[in-house]
Amino acid sequence: MASPRVTVIGAGFSGLAAATHLAKAGFEVRLLEQHDQAGGRARSFEAEGFRFDMGPSWYWMPDIFERYFAAFGKRVDDLYDLRRLDPSYRLVWSKEDPWDIPAGLDALRGFFEGQRSGAAESFDRFVEQTRYIYESAVSDYLLRPSLSVFEFVDPRLVFELGKMRMLRSMHAYAESFFDDPRLVRLVEWPVLFLGASAKKTSAMYSLMSYADMALGTWYPMGGMHRIIDAMVDVAQEQGVDIQLQSRVESVVTKQGRVVGVQTEQAMFECDAVVAAADYHHVEQNLLDAHDRQFREAQWGRKTMSPSSLLFYLGVRGSVEGLRHHTLFFDRDLDVHMRDVYERPAWPSDPLFYVCAPSKTDPTVAPDGHENLFVLVPLAAGLPDADEQRDKIFENVVRRIEHASGTSLKDRIVYRRDYAMRDFERDYGAYKGNAYGMANTLSQTGPFKPPLRSRKVENLYFAGQLTVPGPGMPPSLISGELAAGVLARDLGAS
Ligand SMILES: Cc1cc2nc3c(=O)[nH]c(=O)nc-3n(C[C@H](O)[C@H](O)[C@H](O)COP(=O)(O)OP(=O)(O)OC[C@H]3O[C@@H](n4cnc5c(N)ncnc54)[C@H](O)[C@@H]3O)c2cc1C
C-alpha cells in the first residue's frame, strides 16, 4: 500500500522538524517553502563579503538540538562545529561598568559572590530549583501536545506549581532570591526570549535562566545557518522532498477535510497538511472563512511577542567594548517595556542587543572587518517608517560608540535595516511580529492556538505561534509534536 502523503508548509525549524519526523515515520513528505532557501526566520544572506544570520543568534539548550538529531541517528559534533562562548555575554550597565558573565556554574557562583556578599548561597538555591524546573519541562511538560487542559490536570504538576509558587511572576521569583536589582535583572532577562517581560511571565519560565547559566551559550562556527544546513541534509536523507520557491496560495478542503495544497505552480493532493508557516497567515490567508478557528478580532485580543528593528552592519576595523553577545541595559527597562506592551510607541531611548559573531568566527566578515547585528525590540503592529528607523539607528550607534570609546558611524561599509513591514512581507507575520505570541500565563500550553485544527480534520499546525512557543528549541519541539499527533491520528505510530 502507498504511504500516506503529507504536505508541510514552511521550511523553518518547525517545518523541517515536522517533515523529517514524518518521513522517518513512513509518510511520503513534501515540504513547500516560498523562499529560495530553507530556514525561515533563521535564513542568512551575504553582502559585500559579510555573511549575516538574519534572526537567531543565541544557541541555548544544546540538549534539545542533540535530542533532535539523535532521533535520526546523528550527533551535533558530526554535523557542525559547536563552540561554547566564554564569557557567555556582556551586560553593559554603563561604559564604566560592563559585566562579563563567565561560563560555567563555578565561575558564575564566584561572580555572584563578587557582586554581593552572600549571593553565592542564593545562587546555589536558585540553580538547584531551576534545574528541577528545567529537567521536568524538557523531559515532560514541554513535550505534551497541549491539545486539552486535561493533559495538565495532574496532581503532581499542581502540587509542584503550588510548592514552588510558580504562578507568581518571574520578577517576583527572582527577587525572592536576590536583593541586588542587577542580579535580579541578570537572572530574569532570559525570559525576554519568550516575548513578555519578567513581570508578566510565570516563574515556570525560570527554566530559561537555568538554560543560560548552567547549560551555556554556544555558537556553531560558520553561523547559525549551519544548523539549518544540517537539518536540511538530515531531512533529505530521510526522504523529504523539499521544494523551494513554492509559495502556497491556499489549503484546499472538501467537507471539512484537507484534500490538497495549491501553490503558484501546481496543486498537490495529499492526505494531511502540517502548516508550519505563521498560524495567523495560514488561517486568515490560506483557508476559506468557514475553515478558520479564529476570527480576526480574536487575533486582535492576543498578546503578540514584540517585533524588532534589526540592523545588519558591516564595519571596517574592529569594534572594541563588544563581546560576541552584548546587551545594552544602560537605560530603564520599564520605560522601554511600556513602549512595547502597554502603549505601543517607538521608544526614544531603547534597550538593545548587539551580536558580533566576527569576534568568534572570522568567516563571517572580510579580513579586518566586524560583522554586527543590532536588535531593538519594538511593539508588534507599530507603523513602520524609515524616519523612525533612522532615529533609532543614530541612537544605538552613538551608544555603541560611547561604550567602545571608538568611532563607528564613519566605519560602517554596509547597512541593511529590517523591521515590521519586512516580517510581514517575508513571513506574512501578523502585525509584523518577530517571535510569534508571547508566552504569558494565559497563552501557555492548552491556551495557545492548537497543534491540531478544530475545524479541518487532517490539518495540523507547528511553529512558534503554537505550543510550546517561540525560539529555536521550542520550534524544533513543536514540529516533533505536530508530527507525533498526526502520525497517531493516521494510525502510523
Ligand atoms: C530577529 C530574531 C531573533 C531571534 N533570536 C533567537 C535566538 O537568538 N535564539 C532562539 O532560539 N530563537 C530566536 N529567535 C526565534 C526563532 O528564530 C524562531 O522562534 C524560529 O526560527 C521560528 O521557526 P518557525 O519554523 O516557527 O517559523 P519560521 O522560521 O518563520 O518559518 C516559517 C516558514 O514558512 C514559510 N512560509 C510562510 N508562508 C508561506 C507560504 N504561504 N508558502 C510557503 N512557505 C511559507 C516562511 O518563508 C518560513 O520559511 C529569533 C527570531 C527573530 C525573528
Summarised one tens digit per residue, pLDDT across range 97-156 is 999 999 999 999 999 999 999 999 999 999 999 999 999 889 988 899 988 777 776 777
pLDDT of residue 206: 93
Residues 83-98: pLDDT tens digits? 999 999 999 999 999 9
Whole-number average pLDDT of the chain: 95
| Ligand 1 atom nearest to CA at 465 | 26
Q: Whose CA is nearest to atom 35 of ligand 1?
A: 10
| Ligand 1 atom nearest to CA at 58 | 8
Whole-structure pTM value: 0.97
Residues with CB under 6 A from ligand 1: 9-15, 32-35, 40-42, 55-58, 247-248, 276-277, 281, 308, 310, 375, 427-428, 434-435, 463-464, 470-472, 475
| Ligand 1 atom nearest to CA at 60 | 11
At 192, is the pLDDT very low, low, confident or very high (cuts 50, 70, 90)? confident
CA angle centred on 375, ends 370 and 378, rounded to 5°:
160
pLDDT of residue 123: 98
pLDDT of residue 173: 95
pLDDT of residue 440: 83
For a ligand 1 pocket test, name from 41, 251, 437 the mutation site with the most ligand atoms within 8 angstroms of its C-beta. Answer: 41
Q: How far is the CA of 398 from the centre of ligand 1 (A)?
A: 30
| Ligand 1 atom nearest to CA at 436 | 19
pLDDT above 70 covers a percentage of the chain that reads 99
